[in-house]
């Protein structure tokens, strides 16, 4: 092969989809022209034989000038490169042009925390290396990490079956072919170990290996010898190789043309004896990683599947319908057994196919707002998907395609063996098993590593003693249940029977499906750790016609009929009426769903109307069904209002599993009492609790309840709002609550103490010197208090109370909202509060003084506040007889530039047309007022023009309420028509 075949490597790489642009050609010519002219005389003096040989090859033409020589070389190089890229892309079956855009990034990490030092002693214990916390993109697997920017020579990427190794390889090839990455390589050669197995008996050299899979490389010697041409060899799936790599026995070989075994060729390529300038990337399952001594590996990475965000990306990229994608993500998030296995891309693929069908079926059944929760078919389709995935590779060798039934039938004994192992592990509550266990149970090691199990490191165990576990506990329970089901169906045997139980059975009695399910239910009910819950769900799911149809290849008969299924349903519904833990009730309802019986769920769904539960008394089973429906309802679990439910302690206990998932819970008039609060406190001290807003108004809480709530407040880290209004606290209750508010662990920001009968003339109606407000004032002055909002409406506050509140307002820096509604404040109270509001230390932004017996005189004091206070943004004076004179006093302050008020409430304040002009003039002048409530006053059509002027001139106005005034129909229409011109302003003139 002539040395003139390939030009020196160019930085500007041309992809198969690009032609060399004129400006690129000019750049290349300028860069290389000088070099070509320098060596032209030497080229012309070469032996005619060399030129003749080159001409015979048909790639390099005889040239007379450097320009012609350069053009010829360029054309030959890029023509060959284009051809190779085209062939390479066709070999990538998993990543094609349309689907490449839907490729979801994988969770990839460096498998070693420190660079490998090429010490052969590191060969053992690879999995004990500390995993990198910094994830890599798929592109970075081959990105040089050395300072000189040179590619690593040997890169190894490990990952369990189905985790995305092959797809990652083909995606990188696709991107390289498009010219978007790996520009340091001129040629990439992809070899599948599965396909290489066909050559395992042949002797061949490296040139023949390349030409066998890439016939267009008829003359490839230059690729192997030229230092200017950089190549990457990719060997995918070392674990599938029939020939192990024996680095100790294989002799060294440095000649690319020497014939040798495939194993010898590969070991010499990895060692760098052959094509030393090339890079090699090998992918493998962890079990086969030991074939390559660590001393030859420059970089070891691991593909771990999907992280949480990548799961979401997968569904969004797979489905253009965003609503469908979000629905699938919600299902995955709500079903833990699915969420954990969705770390595996292959499981996500199987799940997405199943969910498409299930969601469509739910629409037809009128359950469009619910979510499918039957998981047995998902796992069964995953089982089929894994075997089909493997079969695709074998089809290349055998040219035969098996049906699913035939495929499963060929795997029947292996699946049952693995299932028996899983069942015994499940019974013993064990997760880890060893290589010796595979032999004892006659489990094919290749099946254990097919994506169902993974190798693990147990403490400081001997690295040669391999330990395994199922990819996830749910998969172990699936195989255990499958074993029991197939034992019953194929052999009329019930593995759940112990020796003692077996003796009680009649000699010739065959166990029925309902008997097996009943026994499995007992196992699940008595298991406090729930290690048989999923097992029971799967066992129920196997009984349906749909799943039996899929598993036909594993079954020798199909004797389970609808009557047997009906018996199981009746057993479970009866169990729901018994006194069992609430989480077990959810398990039974999930089992009913697996059995395709949703009657109880459908009935319970009718109870829920617009998010609020009706007042009908529910049975224990219905409470459980309600919890189940709420848990599996579509969308995020935000507000739950149980106020209208006549809730019992049993019913409340049944709702416990779902309560932690909501962010807001309202239980007004539920009469919880101490027992109910105790149940609730257990929920809220759970680390899974997401509650941020809790309303327990009017629940007959006593001192025991307050002690429970204190433990919640200092333990729960999510609760921000608590309303305990209309509960008689007493001094002891308030002191107990105060201790929590002073605790730095308490994160509460809003507290509702309306109508607590605590803050009036002493405690519980006694005339003691110390009052409830003194206790609360002491809390507000404490720097550890985090309260931002405090509601004290309807508490019969006294003059002394206002002095205590005012004192706290000047010290507390966190309190921004204060509600004193429905208390008698009058002039004396306003005088005290105004002094505090004008203090520069006061941080109040929102003040509610609704129905507090304010007079027109009070407005003069408040006017002074408005022009002095720089923090107050909201003021509600509704339901006070302020009259025209009072509002006119306020108007004086509103037009001042120093007034920062944005929201003003003057509902039912006895205003007439007499004050309208002055008020509206002031508001039109104001640059801050955005919301104004003037409803339920005495304005007439005489003020219509003035209000129209306000609407048109007040630039910041966003909301104006004028309903229930004395406007005529024509007057209302005038304002409504004007609102069309100001679309950004909400104007209310009629009661809705």
Are 894 and 937 contained in the same domain?
yes
Q: Which residue has the higher pLDDT, 849 or 404?
A: 849
pLDDT tens digits for 327-360? 888 888 777 778 878 888 888 887 887 777 777 7
Task: Assess contact for 480 and 532: CB atoms under 8 A.
Answer: no
Are 111 and 51 contained in the same domain?
no
For range 681-709, the mean pLDDT: 88
As a whole number of angstroms, the distance between CA 22 and CA 25 comes to: 5
Are 162 and 83 contained in the same domain?
no
DSSP-assigned letter for residue 255: -
Q: Is 325 part of any domain?
A: yes
Q: Which of 46-50, 417-421, 448-452 has the least mean pLDDT? A: 46-50
Are 85 and 102 contained in the same domain?
no
Q: Is 493 part of any domain?
A: yes
Q: Encode 315-346 in three state secondary structure.
A: HHHHCCCHHHHHHHHHHHHHCHHHHHHCCCHH
Q: Look at residue 36 in the predicted model and tell me its pLDDT.
A: 40
Are 589 and 470 contained in the same domain?
yes
961: left (phi over 0), alpha (psi -120 to 50) or beta: beta
Q: Encode 683-721 in three state secondary structure.
A: HHCCCCCCCCEEECCCCCCCHHHHHHHHHHHHHCCCCCE
Sort 361 into a burial class: Cβ within 10 Å, 0-12 / 13-18 / 19+: exposed
pLDDT of residue 721 exceeding 90: yes
Last residue of a domain, one of 287, 305, 323: 305
As a whole number of angstroms, the distance between CA 695 and CA 330 comes to: 27
For range 425-439, the mean pLDDT: 89
Q: Which residue has the higher pLDDT, 839 or 140?
A: 839
Report yes or no on whether pTM surpasses 0.85. Answer: no
Q: Is 65 part of any domain?
A: yes
Q: Look at residue 14 in the predicted model and tell me its pLDDT.
A: 35
Beta bridge partners of 666: 641, 695
Q: Is 569 part of any domain?
A: yes
Percent of the residues in the chain that have a pLDDT greater than 70, as a whole number: 81
Task: Assess contact for 245 and 203: CB atoms under 8 A.
Answer: no
Task: Supply the CATH number for residue 916's domain.
Answer: 3.80.10.10
**Which residue reads 């706290």 in tokens?**
808
Are 297 and 319 contained in the same domain?
no
Are 268 and 232 contained in the same domain?
yes
Position 991 confidence tier, pLDDT thresholds 50, 70, 90: confident
pLDDT tens digits for 885-937? 999 999 999 988 899 999 999 999 999 999 999 998 888 887 789 999 999 99
Position 615 confidence tier, pLDDT thresholds 50, 70, 90: low
Q: Look at residue 905 in the predicted model and tell me its pLDDT.
A: 97
As a whole number of angstroms, the distance between CA 685 and CA 430 comes to: 29
User: How is residue 556 written in tokens?
Assistant: 């020798």
Q: Look at residue 476 in the predicted model and tell me its pLDDT.
A: 92
What is the domain range of residue 132?
A: 97-305
Position 58 confidence tier, pLDDT thresholds 50, 70, 90: very low
Q: Is 868 part of any domain?
A: yes
pLDDT of residue 634 exceeding 60: no
Position 502 confidence tier, pLDDT thresholds 50, 70, 90: low
Last residue of a domain, one of 285, 305, 325: 305
Q: Is 197 part of any domain?
A: yes
What average pLDDT is seen over the chain? Answer: 80
Q: Look at residue 9 in the predicted model and tell me its pLDDT.
A: 41
Q: Is 252 part of any domain?
A: yes
* Residue 934 neighbours by CB under 8 Å, 6+ apart: 906, 907, 911, 960, 961, 962, 965
Position 635 confidence tier, pLDDT thresholds 50, 70, 90: low
Question: How many domains are there within the chain?
Answer: 5
Last residue of a domain, one of 72, 90, 108: 90
pLDDT of residue 680 exceeding 50: yes
pLDDT of residue 71 exceeding 80: no
Are 135 and 84 contained in the same domain?
no
pLDDT of residue 224 exceeding 50: yes
Question: CA distances (Å), 615 to each of 547, 608, 621, 647, in order?
Answer: 40, 10, 16, 9
Based on its alpha-carbon atoms, the radius of gyration of the chain, rounded to whole angstroms, reads 39
Are 346 and 261 contained in the same domain?
no
Position 120 confidence tier, pLDDT thresholds 50, 70, 90: very low
Q: Is 603 part of any domain?
A: no
As a whole number of angstroms, the distance between CA 235 and CA 226 comes to: 22
Task: Supply the CATH number for residue 200's domain.
Answer: 3.40.50.300
pLDDT of residue 472 exceeding 50: yes
Q: Look at residue 945 in the predicted model and tell me its pLDDT.
A: 92
Are 314 and 299 contained in the same domain?
no
3-state secondary structure of 190: strand
For range 366-378, the mean pLDDT: 66
pLDDT of residue 461 exceeding 60: no
Position 369 confidence tier, pLDDT thresholds 50, 70, 90: low
Are 215 and 332 contained in the same domain?
no
Q: Look at residue 363 in the predicted model and tell me its pLDDT.
A: 59
For range 283-290, the mean pLDDT: 82
Q: Look at residue 364 in the predicted model and tell me its pLDDT.
A: 56
For range 754-771, the mean pLDDT: 54
Position 395 confidence tier, pLDDT thresholds 50, 70, 90: low
Percent of the residues in the chain that have a pLDDT greater than 90, as a whole number: 29
DSSP-assigned letter for residue 633: B
pLDDT tens digits for 622-632? 888 888 888 77
User: How is residue 562 written in tokens?
Assistant: 């609808």
Q: Encode 53-99 in three state secondary structure.
A: HHHHHCCCCCCCCHHHHHHHHHHHHHHHHHHHHHHHHHCCCCCCHHH
Q: Which of 162-166, 429-433, 540-544, 844-848 has the least mean pLDDT? A: 162-166
Are 214 and 355 contained in the same domain?
no
């Amino acid at each position: 092969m002539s040395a003139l075949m390939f030009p020196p490597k160019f930085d500007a790489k041309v992809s198969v989809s690009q032609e060399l642009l004129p400006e690129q050609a000019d750049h290349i010519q300028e860069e290389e022209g000088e070099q070509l002219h320098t060596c032209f005389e030497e080229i012309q003096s070469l032996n005619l034989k060399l030129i003749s040989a080159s001409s015979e090859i048909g790639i390099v033409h005889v040239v007379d000038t450097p320009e012609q020589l350069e053009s010829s070389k360029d054309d030959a190089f890029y023509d060959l490169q284009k051809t190779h890229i085209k062939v390479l892309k066709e070999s990538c079956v998993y990543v094609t042009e349309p689907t490449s855009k839907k490729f979801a990034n994988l969770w990839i990490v460096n498998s070693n925390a420190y660079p490998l030092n090429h010490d052969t002693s590191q060969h053992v214990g690879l999995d004990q290396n500390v995993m990198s916390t910094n994830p890599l993109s798929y592109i970075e697997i081959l990105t040089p990490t050395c300072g000189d920017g040179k590619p690593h020579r040997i890169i190894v990427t490990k990952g369990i079956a189905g985790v995305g190794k092959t797809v990652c390889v083909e995606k990188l090839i696709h991107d390289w072919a498009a010219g978007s990455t790996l520009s340091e390589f001129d040629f990439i050669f992809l070899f599948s170990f599965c396909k290489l197995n066909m050559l395992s008996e042949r002797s061949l050299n490296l040139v023949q290996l390349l030409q066998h899979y890439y016939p267009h490389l008829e003359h490839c010697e230059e690729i192997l010898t030229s230092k200017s041409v950089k190549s990457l060899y990719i060997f995918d799936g070392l674990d599938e190789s029939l020939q192990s790599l024996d680095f100790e026995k294989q002799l060294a070989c440095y000649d690319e043309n020497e014939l040798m075994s495939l194993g010898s060729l590969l070991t010499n390529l990895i060692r760098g004896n052959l094509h030393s300038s090339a890079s090699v990337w090998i992918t493998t399952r962890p079990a086969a990683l030991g074939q390559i001594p660590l001393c030859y590996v420059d970089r070891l990475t691991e593909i771990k599947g999907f992280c949480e965000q990548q799961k979401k990306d997968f569904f969004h990229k797979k489905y253009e319908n965003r609503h469908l994608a979000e629905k699938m993500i919600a299902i995955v998030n709500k079903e833990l057994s699915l969420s954990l296995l969705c770390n595996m891309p292959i499981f996500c693929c199987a799940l997405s196919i199943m969910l498409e069908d299930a969601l469509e079926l739910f629409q037809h059944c009128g359950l469009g707002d619910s979510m499918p929760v039957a998981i047995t078919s998902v796992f069964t389709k995953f089982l089929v998907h894994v075997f089909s995935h493997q079969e695709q590779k074998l089809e290349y060798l055998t040219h035969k395609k098996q049906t699913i039934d035939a495929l499963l039938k060929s795997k029947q004994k292996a699946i049952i063996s693995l299932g028996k192992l899983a069942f015994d592990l499940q019974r013993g509550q064990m997760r880890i098993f060893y290589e010796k266990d595979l032999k004892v149970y006659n489990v094919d090691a290749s099946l254990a590593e097919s994506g169902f199990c993974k190798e693990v490191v147990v403490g400081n165990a001997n690295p040669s003693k391999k330990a395994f576990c199922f990819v996830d506990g749910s998969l172990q329970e699936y195989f255990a249940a499958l074993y029991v089901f197939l034992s019953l169906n194929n052999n009329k045997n019930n593995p759940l029977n112990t020796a003692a139980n077996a003796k009680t059975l009649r000699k010739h009695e065959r166990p029925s499906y309902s008997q097996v399910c009943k026994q499995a239910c007992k196992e699940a009910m008595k298991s406090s750790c729930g290690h048989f819950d999923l097992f029971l769900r799967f066992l129920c799911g196997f009984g349906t016609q749909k799943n039996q149809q899929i598993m036909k290849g594993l079954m020798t008969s199909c004797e389970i009929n609808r009557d047997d299924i009906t018996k199981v349903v009746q057993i479970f519904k009866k169990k729901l009426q018994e006194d069992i833990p609430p989480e077990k009730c959810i398990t039974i309802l999930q089992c009913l769903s697996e059995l395709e019986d949703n009657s109880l769920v459908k009935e319970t769904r009718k109870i829920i109307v617009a998010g609020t539960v009706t007042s009908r008394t529910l049975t224990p089973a219905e409470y459980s069904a309600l919890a189940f429906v709420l848990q599996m309802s579509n969308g995020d679990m935000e507000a739950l209002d149980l106020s209208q439910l006549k809730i019992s302690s049993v019913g409340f206990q049944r709702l416990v599993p779902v309560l932690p998932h909501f962010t807001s819970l309202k239980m007004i008039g539920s009469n919880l009492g101490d027992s109910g609060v105790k149940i609730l406190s257990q929920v809220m001290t759970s680390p899974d609790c997401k509650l941020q807003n809790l309303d327990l108004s009017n629940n007959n809480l006593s001192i025991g309840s307050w002690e429970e709530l204190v433990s919640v407040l200092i333990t729960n880290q999510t609760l921000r709002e608590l309303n305990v209004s209309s509960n008689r606290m007493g001094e002891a209750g308030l002191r107990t609550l105060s201790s929590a508010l002073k605790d730095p662990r308490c994160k509460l920001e809003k507290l509702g103490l309306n109508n607590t009968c605590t803050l009036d003339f002493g405690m519980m109606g006694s005339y003691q010197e110390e009052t409830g407000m003194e206790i609360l004032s002491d809390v507000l002055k404490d720097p550890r208090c985090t309260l931002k909002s405090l509601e004290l409406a309807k508490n019969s506050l006294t003059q002394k109370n206002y002095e205590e509140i005012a004192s706290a307002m000047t010290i507390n820096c966190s309190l921004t909202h204060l509600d004193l509604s429905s208390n008698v404040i009058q002039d004396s109270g306003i005088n005290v509060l105004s002094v505090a509001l004008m203090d520069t230390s006061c941080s109040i932004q929102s003040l509610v003084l609704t129905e507090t017996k304010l007079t027109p005189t009070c407005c003069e004091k408040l006017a002074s506040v408005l022009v002095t206070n720089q923090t107050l943004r909201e003021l509600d004076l509704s339901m006070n007889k302020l009259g025209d004179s009072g509002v006119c006093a306020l108007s004086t302050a509103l037009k001042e530039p120093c007034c920062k008020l944005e929201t003003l409430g003057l509902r039912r304040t006895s205003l007439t047309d007499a004050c309208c002009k002055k008020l509206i003039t002031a508001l039109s002048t104001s640059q801050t007022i955005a919301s104004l409530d003037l409803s339920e006053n005495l304005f007439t059509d005489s003020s219509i023009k003035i209000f129209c002027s306000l609407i048109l001139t007040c630039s910041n106005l966003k909301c104006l309420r004028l309903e229930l005034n004395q406007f005529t129909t024509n007057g209302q229409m005038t304002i409504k028509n004007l609102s069309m011109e100001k679309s950004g302003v909400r104007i209310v003139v009629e009661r809705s």
